[in-house]
Structures are given as structure tokens and as C-alpha cells.
Amino acid sequence: MASQMDPYVDAFVNGLLHGLIAAWPIWLLLALFAASALVVGLYRRRLIARSGLKDIDAMSGNDFERYLAILFSKLGYQVQRTASHGDFGADLVTSRKRERVAVQAKRRRRRVGVKAVQEAVAAKGYYSCDKAIVVTNSFFTRQAAKLADRNGVDLWDRYRLAKEMAAIGGKSVIAQAMTPKEPTPRQEAKAPEDAQAFEGAKGRTCAVCGQRVSEKVRDYCLANERRFGGQILCYRHQRVR
């Protein structure tokens, strides 16, 4: 019986060998794909380590905004941080070579969805910017990427952010962002069309330090009369209360 099966076994083995040999282009492509995936994985791992991105993961949202202000400044932009309340979808408004850019910062553990893109689109219009960017230490959902593509919004995911971080010095810049400093008033970005009204406003000064505040800050204080005792306070002294 075994002798009768031998020809069939031999035929099967020979056919299998011939099939494997004939399919060598496929095996080569699979090997190249696996090798390229390994190289990309190693590159990204080194990039993240060199950039210090893991320190970003441990930051608060406010520290992340402050870091991005330093990052964009070192990339050649003039940077303004927007109001902490009612920022109209942008955490930074930057400018370079006559181009204004609204930047939305999203320090997240999960993927960033379409809401962030919608906020960036709104901020682009409100602050009269030429483009908008959403920056995250995470990744974006497929829907967010599709919406961003339709509306011309640039998305900086984890790897793009790490690349920009590494280009300006990585961890040393993070250390600069996290160095304790004396509290300073936050420079509020404003829409260009509101500039004249902003400068000429009266009755909008902090009751403690005398710093001029925006109409939004004044209205926020008045709307929270019990918290602020009916006083107009700048962001610095709002936090004290």
C-alpha cells in the first residue's frame, strides 16, 4: 500500500516545489515589504526617542500649547496665543511671509476626530488666516482626514510632530517649554477687523494690575459676577480667583 502511495506523494512534493519556485517574485515582494516595514518601524522609533515626544504625552493641554508656541517660533513663525476662553477654534495664530495660520492643538491619547477639523476651519475664517493646522501627539480618524482634505486643513499627526520636534532640537526645547517662569499675561490674538475696536476700547482693564483686556474677557467676568465679585480681571488674576 505504501509503495502504491509513493508515486502520489512524490508527485505532490514535486508539484509543491515547482509551485514555490514559480512564485518566487511573490516571495521576493513579501520579503521586501517585511524589510521595509521593519526599517520604517525602526526609523519611527528612533525619531520619537530623539524628538522627546513621550514627554509631550505627559504634558497638560496648556503646556502643550506653550510648547507649540515655541516650536512654531523656532520654525520661523511669529506666534500669538489666543484667549484661554472662547478661542474660536484656534490655540495659536501664527504668521510667516505674509501667511497667517490658525493652529489647533490637541494633546490626546485617542485619535482626533472631525470636531477638531471643524474648529480649525472656523478659526481660519474668524482670524482671517490663509490656512489652518491641527497638531496632535496622537493620530486622526479616517473621517477627520477626509474632512481636512476637503477643506484644505493640514494635519500633523504623531510622526509629523516628532519630525518637526527633532528638527528644532528635540528634548532641549521641551525643557525650555517646561522651565518654570514668572506668570506673564497671555498675548491674545484677535481678528484683524476687530483691531481698531480692540485698541480703542475703554472700561476694560484688570481691577488688580490695570492690564487692558478684551471685550470677551470683560463679558466673561461680568457673566460670572459671583465668582469675580463684579470685577474685571485679566487671565492671570482670574486663575488666582
Domain with 9, as residue range(s), is 2-51
In a domain, 185, yes or no: no
Q: Residue 135 phi/psi, 5° resolution?
A: -115, 130
**Of 66-70, 131-135, 210-214, minimum mean pLDDT range:** 210-214
Residue 146 shares a structural domain with residue 158 = yes
In a domain, 193, yes or no: no
- pLDDT bucket at 152, cuts 50 / 70 / 90: very high
The pLDDT value given to residue 19:
66
Residue 19 shares a structural domain with residue 61 = no
- pLDDT bucket at 150, cuts 50 / 70 / 90: very high
- For 8-50, the pLDDT digits (tens) are 556 666 666 666 677 667 656 666 666 666 555 565 667 666 7
In a domain, 107, yes or no: yes
Q: What is the pTM of this model?
A: 0.59
Residue 66 shares a structural domain with residue 127 = yes
Instruction: State whether residue 83 is helix, strand or coil.
Output: coil
**Residues constituting the chain:** 241
Residue 111 shares a structural domain with residue 157 = yes
The percentage of residues in the chain with a pLDDT greater than 70, rounded to a whole number, is 61
Dig out the grid coordinates for 59 from the structure.
Answer: 504634558
- pLDDT bucket at 200, cuts 50 / 70 / 90: very low
- For 122-145, the pLDDT digits (tens) are 999 999 999 999 999 999 999 999
Report the CATH number that the domain containing residue 157 is assigned in CATH.
3.40.1350.10
In a domain, 59, yes or no: yes
